[in-house]
Copies of this chain bind each other. A is one copy, B any other.
Amino acid sequence: MQQSAALRMEEAPSVEPCTFVLFGASGDLARRKLLPALYRLALEGYLPPESAIVGAALPWMTTERFRADMREALERAPEVGPVDETAWRAFAQRLHYVPMDLSRGDDYQRLGHLLDRVDREHGTRGNRIFYLSLAPTLHGEVVRHLGEAGLTKAREARGWVRLVVEKPFGTDLETARALNQRLHHYLDESSVYRMDHYLGKEMVQNLLVLRFANRIFEPMWDREHIDHVQITSAETVGVEGRGGYYEKAGVVRDMLQNHLLQVLAMVAMEPPSSLSPEAVHEAKREVMASARAFTPERIRTECVRGQYAPGLLAGGPVPGYRQEPGVAPDSRTETFAMLTMRFDNPRWAGVPFYVRSGKRMAERLTEVVVQFKDGPLAQGTPNQLHLRIQPDEGMALRFATKAPGRTVHHHDVALDFRYGDTFGTRLAEAYERLLLDCMLGISTHYVRNDLVERGWELVTPLLEAWGPGRNDYPLHAYAAGSWGPDAASRLPQADGRRWNRS
């Protein structure tokens, strides 16, 4: 049982105070997710009273105005609920604002002076988290300015500096590599936290417990017992007025390269040698290193791209992608993609991982379905383990039982478990968990540089084959409100398999 001891969950260390510097404080993510998450953490005692939050953005406004804005943002955040006046007053005192032109070095000097003052006034011990919630093209420049202003170095013997980078992390392999180089010029990799909020979701984190704390799953998690794995991330929304952005992105960049490859790595990795961040990163690196590259042949036979046409959703008509504002009427940008991932390693040889994501699909749903091989007596559906990542977090195990009666017929039943039913409490938002991890210095559920680059490396052939000016691979239309193009359903069918939802 030596392995057992090595793999035990570590005790969480206590939270140190710090200044949380939020670049892009006037942006959508800050209002909808980051500030509400910080407020919730404060409310539940995870934010030491010496901590401070400094918003930095272009608009010229006072700290008072920023506080009023943030108060309004909290009122609107569904996960916050009614704002508690006492708690808000204490929280508001920690909020500061500094208007900045992120392209001007002088402004970083000003920022530095403000931070020194905040350090003194609040007693943050010089600990700082810089959070970059910005357009990806700005990341490199901001890092350089921070570095040149001396802000990427800890100011006191005991203090630390951490830098969180929001997705997208680069727009292709080249830009991602350049950003990593820039970051490493000023910071240790151990101080860089690349945020992928899918890694903060309850059921994604639960994969570590499910896989390695349960005897009933761990020995079954291989090619001997698993027939295939499905990962679906379906959205019902379209491009929501961001057609101009999406035209250059597409679903491979927007969802697959980051979120779904991260979930995939959690499902497919080997047991890490411990639960330390480095061991988990190493296990992910290894499994992604064995992911089979997408050749033109594989793109033709094992991948499908699609684009939504007009259709019906929730009973009403919705426009097609090409009818969205900002989208070219002959656009060939993919809003749906399905990839067959394969790992050339002993655990997974011969086991396909079908991964798909799309906009304007029939239902909002992110799930992993692990389909086991047939039992010796199997009739009907094989055993499946369903992990629902969102919405309605939980899991289900489908298996055969004898249907009641005088003769022997099998009946598939599902043992179902919903987090909501069992715990009856609000689940922490992914951002709460991940921001707390960053304050604690735990990077397990952040993305290490090599995995970001490996993700881009894997999708590069797809980005090229499906990129602008290339018409040699089909782009399948699918009706908005459907489960994607027929071609994506037919692909597993060729091997006698089918999507759980289609």
Contact = CB atoms under 8 A, between A and B. Distances in A.
Interface of A: 1, 3-4, 7-9, 12, 41, 46, 202, 205-206, 208-210, 212-220, 224-225, 271, 275, 372-379, 382-383, 385, 395-397, 399-411, 413, 415-417, 419, 422-423, 425, 427-428, 432-433, 436-437
B417 A433 contact: no
A12, A378, A419, A428 — most chain B CB neighbours (10 Å): A378
Contact of A379 (B213, B377, B396): B213
A378 B220 contact: no
A403 B41 CA distance: 17
Contacts of A224: 219
A453 to B, nearest CB: 28
A405 B46 CA distance: 12
Number of copies of this chain that the complex holds = 2
A62 B217 CA distance: 64
B212 A404 contact: no
Given A377-B209, A402-B209, A417-B413, A383 B432 contact: no
Contacts of A400: 209-210, 213-214
Nearest to A4: B376
25 contacts: A4-B374, A8-B379, A9-B409, A46-B406, A202-B404, A205-B408, A206-B402, A208-B377, A208-B402, A209-B401, A210-B401, A210-B402, A212-B376, A213-B379, A213-B400, A216-B225, A216-B383, A216-B399, A217-B375, A219-B219, A219-B225, A275-B408, A397-B397, A404-B425, A405-B428
Nearest to A46: B406
A443 to B, nearest CB: 14
B408 A214 contact: no
A376 B216 contact: no
A209 B41 CA distance: 49
A378 B417 contact: no
Q: Shortest 8 CB-CB distances between A and B: which pairs?
A: A415-B415, A215-B372, A213-B377, A206-B402, A212-B377, A209-B402, A213-B400, A215-B375
A258 B46 CA distance: 60
A401 B396 CA distance: 12
Contact of A213 (B3, B395, B410): B410
Contact of A9 (B216, B372, B408, B433): B408
A313 to B, nearest CB: 31
Contact of A216 (B41, B218, B372): B372
B406 A213 contact: no
A215 B209 contact: no
Given A416-B415, A428-B405, A410 B378 contact: no
A403 to B, nearest CB: 7
A410 B9 CA distance: 9
Given A41-B406, A213-B376, A397-B397, 7 more contacts: A7-B376, A8-B377, A9-B379, A210-B401, A215-B225, A215-B373, A404-B428
A393 B214 CA distance: 25
B404 A423 contact: yes
A212 to B, nearest CB: 4
B376 A209 contact: no
A396 to B, nearest CB: 8
